[in-house]
Amino acid sequence: DVKVTQSSRYLVKRTGEKVFLECVQDMDHENMFWYRQDPGLGLRLIYFSYDVKMKEKGDIPEGYSVSREKKERFSLILESASTNQTSMYLCASRSLSRDRVNEQYFGPGTRLTVT
């Protein structure tokens, strides 16, 4: 079974704080992704990573950065949290194997509230 875990299920931070959201997958997947999910807006891609030390901006990268120093770990960083970053954050992982390409598996999500 694919397993994608996220460091926290619920998180409450203050405006201006630096926030780290961690995601770990144990399936040796090359690709990893960070999404946020908001009512009425659906799932939107923040950043993704092809492989270790590689990253690309998604649709809404502003206010976020990422780090991928090891293959299994993809971190999302909010340099200075703002209230409009209150959201559900979902990490995902994807294999490049021929028979499973594009099957993308999600972590359980982190509900972040910025006050």
Partner 1 sequence: EDKVVQSPLSLVVHEGDTVTLNCSYEVTNFRSLLWYKQEKKAPTFLFMLTSSGIEKKSGRLSSILDKKELSSILNITATQTGDSAIYLCAVVDSGGGADGLTFGKGTHLIIQP
Interface ranges with partner 1 (CB under 8 A): 30-31, 33, 35, 40-45, 48-50, 56, 58, 90, 92, 94, 96, 102-109
Instruction: Work out how close the CB of 25 gets to partner 1 at its nearest, in angstroms, rounded to a whole number.
Output: 13
DSSP 41: T
Structure tokens at 97: 């194997």
Q: How far is the CB of 108 from partner 1 (least distance, A)?
A: 5
47 alpha-carbon distance from chain centroid: 7
Of 10 and 84, nearer to partner 1 (C-beta) is: 10
For partner 1, give the closer residue by CB, 14 or 35: 35
Cβ proximity to partner 1: between 19 and 46 the closer is: 46
Per-residue DSSP letter, 84 = G
Nearest approach in angstroms of CB 58 to partner 1 is: 6
Nearer to partner 1, 18 or 53 (CB): 53
Place of tokens 């910025």: 114
Q: How far is the CB of 16 from partner 1 (least distance, A)?
A: 28
Q: Cα angle at 2 between 41 and 12, to 5 degrees?
A: 45
What distance in Å separates the CA atoms of residue 66 and residue 22, rounded to the nearest whole number? 10
H-only helix segments in 42-106: none
